[in-house]
C-alpha cells in the first residue's frame, strides 16, 4: 500500500524558463525490493478480454485541486468519462478501492454514451446498469479492486462513454482516495441521487478519475493492448483539457486508421511527477510495472518512456541504475511474452533539471537504449525526433509546452510523439508478420 511506504509529501516549486509553477512531489523511504507488491486484485478470468481504456491508480497530492468538496463524493452522484480505443459489443469495468481504509459503497452504477466531452449530458437511450455478482448495488472492499459482471453494450472505437455512480460512503481523504489525479478530461459531481439524469445538476467539475481504472471488452485472438508506461510525458502534462491530446490518444487514432492494426488498443499508464525507481515507492515505474503492464488483460506490447525524473532528482551518475531497471522491466515482460519498445529520454536543456551531470546521464542511458545489446524489441528515438537542429541537448521550440518549461510538450508535440511511436510499432509488427 502507498500509505505504508510514504514518509511525507513535499510541494516543490520549480522555476522553469522564467515561469514558476508548483508541482506536488512525494518523498518516500528507499525500497529494498522494488519488484514485488501486495495482491489487491480479485481473481478474474481474463481469457479473451482486452483492455480498451485504463489508467494508473494512486492517491491525491493536493486536496484542494484533486478531491471534490462542494459537494464531496460521499452521498453524491459521480459521472466520469472515458474515451475507449478499440470498440466492442460488451464490456466490464474495473473499480479500485485499493487505498481505501473502509468499503466503497456504490448504490447504483451505469454506462452510457456521452454526448459531448465538455458536458455531463448522456444519450439517455443508451443508459444501461452495471452489476457485480448480479447486484446493481454493492460495495468494493477496502484495499481491493473488483471487476463488474460482463454487460452487453455495443460501442464504437474512439467513442466517449460515461460511467455514472451513485455513491454512499466513499473513502476520499488524501491517503484513502483511489484515483488518477490528472485525467486531462472532465468529471462531474452532484449532490444526491442523479444516476439516471440525462444531465447532472450543478455541482463541481474535476479533472481526475475516481475509483475506475479499467474498461475491458471481449475481442478476437488477433486483438491486443499496447500499454504505455511512463511519467508526465505519457500522462500528458500541459495538454488542453478535453482535447484528448496525449501521445497515446494520437497513437490510438493512428491505429484505428490502419486496417491491419485497428484491433490494437492503447492503455495509458503514465503518472506525472513519478520516477522509474529513484523515488515513488509503490508508484515508481519499476514497481508498478507488475500491476500496470503485466496485469493488463490482453497486453501484447509495452512502450517504456521513463527516467527523466530520476535524472532530475539525482546528484550522482545513476545511468547504470536506470539501465538496470529497464532490463528488469524488459525481463519481466518477456517472461509473459510481451514485446517492449524503448524510448530515448527527450532533451531538457532550458529546464531546471538540466546540468552537465544530468545531460551526461541522459546521453549514457540513451546510448544503451539505442544499442543492440539493450534487449528492447524495438527502439523509438524520441530524443532525436524532437531535438533542436541548432542544439540537440534542447527541445525544438515548436514542441515546447504552454508552460515554456522545455521538458513537457504542447498539444502538437504530443501528437507528433504519437505519430512517431505509431510508425515504429507499425513497422515492427508488419515486418514481424512477414517473417
Tell me the per-residue pLDDT of 248-272, one tens digit each, with 9 for 90 and over: 999 999 999 999 999 999 999 999 9
Residues 198/89, Cβ–Cβ less than 8 Å: no
Q: Give the pLDDT of residue 203.
A: 97
Helix (H, G, I), strand (E, B) or coil at 362: helix
Spatial CB neighbours of 388, under 8 Å, sequence gap ≥ 6: 347, 394, 395, 396, 397
Interior angle at CA 421, CA 416 and CA 427, nearest 5: 125
Please compute, for residue 94, the number of CA atoms within 13 A of its CA located in the half-sphere on the CB side. 31
**What mean pLDDT comes out for the span 63-77?**
97
CATH topology of domain 2-39+220-434: Rossmann fold (3.40.50)
Name the nearest CA neighbour of 260 among 404, 426, 20: 426
Q: Which helix (H) or strand (E) element contains residue 368?
A: helix 356-370
The arithmetic mean of pLDDT across residues 78-91, rounded, is: 98
Q: Among residues 198, 214, 195, 211, which one has the least CA distance to residue 75? A: 195
Which residues, other chains included, contact 317 with Cβ-Cβ below 8 Å and sequence gap of 6+? 357, 360, 361, 364
pLDDT score recorded for residue 37: 47
Best CA proximity match to 211, nearest among 14, 326, 57:
57
Q: Do residues 325 and 285 make contact, with C-beta atoms less than 8 angstroms apart?
A: yes
Q: What is the model's pLDDT at position 41?
A: 80
With 70 as the cut, is the pLDDT of residue 5 above it? Answer: no
pLDDT of the residue at 435: 79
- Does residue 407 carry a pLDDT above 70? yes
Percent of the chain with pLDDT over 90: 89
Quote the DSSP letter at residue 31. Answer: P
- 165 pLDDT more than 60: yes
Note the pLDDT tens digit of each residue in 13-42: 232 222 223 333 444 333 334 444 455 888
Mean pLDDT score, 140-146: 98
Higher pLDDT, 170 or 433: 170
Q: What is the mean pLDDT of residues 386-413?
A: 98
Give the model's confidence band at 434: pLDDT under 50 very low, under 70 low, under 90 confident, else very high. Answer: confident
Residues 109-120 have a mean pLDDT of: 98
DSSP 8-state symbol, 180: E
Q: What is the pLDDT of residue 36?
A: 43
Give strand pairing partners of 191: 76
**Average pLDDT for the chain:** 92
The pTM for the full model equals 0.93
* Cα angle 365-305-206, degrees, rounded to a multiple of 5: 145
**pLDDT of 289 over the 60 cut:** yes
- Average pLDDT (267-283) is 97
Contact between 343 and 369 under an 8 Å Cβ cutoff? The reply is yes
pLDDT given at position 39: 54
DSSP 149-185: PPEEEEE-TT-EEEEEEEESS---STTT--EES--SS
What integer pLDDT is reported at residue 68 of this predicted model? 98
The model's pLDDT over 304-336, given as tens digits with 9 standing for 90+, comes to 999 999 999 999 999 999 999 999 999 999 999
pLDDT in tens, 212-255: 999 999 999 999 999 999 999 999 999 999 999 999 999 999 99
Domain ranges of the chain: 2-39+220-434, 57-215
Rounded mean pLDDT of 57-68?
97
pLDDT band, very low/low/confident/very high, at 338 (cuts 50, 70, 90): very high
Amino acid at each position: 500500500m502507498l500509505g505504508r511506504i510514504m514518509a511525507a509529501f513535499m510541494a516543490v516549486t520549480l522555476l522553469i524558463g522564467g515561469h514558476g509553477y508548483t508541482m506536488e512531489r512525494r518523498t518516500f523511504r528507499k525500497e529494498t525490493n522494488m519488484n514485488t507488491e501486495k495482491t489487491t486484485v480479485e481473481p478474474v478470468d481474463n481469457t479473451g478480454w482486452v483492455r480498451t481504456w485504463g489508467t494508473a491508480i494512486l492517491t491525491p497530492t493536493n486536496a484542494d485541486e484533486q478531491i471534490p468538496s462542494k459537494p464531496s463524493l460521499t452521498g453524491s452522484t459521480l459521472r466520469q468519462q472515458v474515451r475507449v480505443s478499440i470498440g466492442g459489443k460488451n464490456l466490464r469495468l474495473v473499480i479500485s478501492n485499493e487505498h481505501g481504509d473502509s468499503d466503497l459503497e456504490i448504490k447504483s452504477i451505469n454506462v452510457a454514451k456521452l454526448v459531448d466531452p465538455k458536458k455531463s449530458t448522456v444519450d439517455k437511450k443508451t443508459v444501461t446498469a452495471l452489476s457485480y455478482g448480479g447486484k446493481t448495488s454493492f460495495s468494493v472492499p477496502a484495499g481491493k479492486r473488483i471487476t463488474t459482471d460482463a454487460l452487453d453494450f455495443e460501442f464504437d472505437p474512439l467513442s466517449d462513454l460515461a460511467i455514472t455512480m451513485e455513491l454512499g460512503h466513499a473513502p476520499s481523504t488524501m491517503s484513502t482516495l483511489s484515483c488518477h489525479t490528472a485525467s486531462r478530461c472532465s468529471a462531474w459531481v452532484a449532490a444526491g441521487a442523479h444516476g439516471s439524469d440525462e444531465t447532472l445538476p450543478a455541482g463541481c467539475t474535476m479533472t481526475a478519475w475516481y475509483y475506475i481504472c479499467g474498461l475491458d471488452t471481449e475481442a478476437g485472438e488477433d486483438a491486443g493492448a499496447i500499454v504505455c508506461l511512463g511519467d508526465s510525458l505519457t500522462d500528458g502534462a500541459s495538454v488542453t483539457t478535453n482535447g484528448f491530446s496525449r501521445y497515446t490518444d494520437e497513437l490510438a487514432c493512428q491505429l484505428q486508421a490502419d486496417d491491419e492494426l485497428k484491433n490494437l488498443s492503447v492503455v495509458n499508464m503514465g503518472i506525472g511527477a513519478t520516477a522509474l525507481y529513484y523515488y515513488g515507492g509503490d508508484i515508481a515505474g519499476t514497481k508498478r510495472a507488475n500491476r500496470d503492464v503485466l496485469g493488463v488483460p490482453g497486453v501484447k506490447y509495452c512502450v517504456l518512456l521513463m527516467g527523466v525524473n530520476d535524472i532530475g532528482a539525482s546528484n550522482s551518475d545513476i545511468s547504470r541504475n536506470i539501465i538496470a531497471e529497464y532490463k528488469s522491466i524488459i525481463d519481466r515482460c518477456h517472461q509473459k511474452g510481451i514485446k517492449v519498445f524503448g524510448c530515448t529520454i527527450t532533451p531538457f536543456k532550458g529546464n531546471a533539471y538540466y546540468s552537465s551531470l544530468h545531460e551526461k546521464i541522459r546521453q549514457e542511458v540513451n546510448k544503451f537504449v539505442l544499442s543492440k545489446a539493450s534487449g528492447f524489441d524495438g527502439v523509438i528515438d524520441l530524443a532525436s525526433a524532437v531535438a533542436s537542429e541548432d542544439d540537440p541537448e534542447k527541445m525544438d521550440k515548436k514542441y515546447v509546452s504552454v508552460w515554456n518549461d522545455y521538458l513537457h510538450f504542447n498539444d502538437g508535440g504530443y501528437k507528433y510523439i504519437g505519430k512517431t511511436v505509431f510508425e515504429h510499432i507499425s513497422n515492427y509488427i508488419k515486418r514481424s508478420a512477414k517473417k
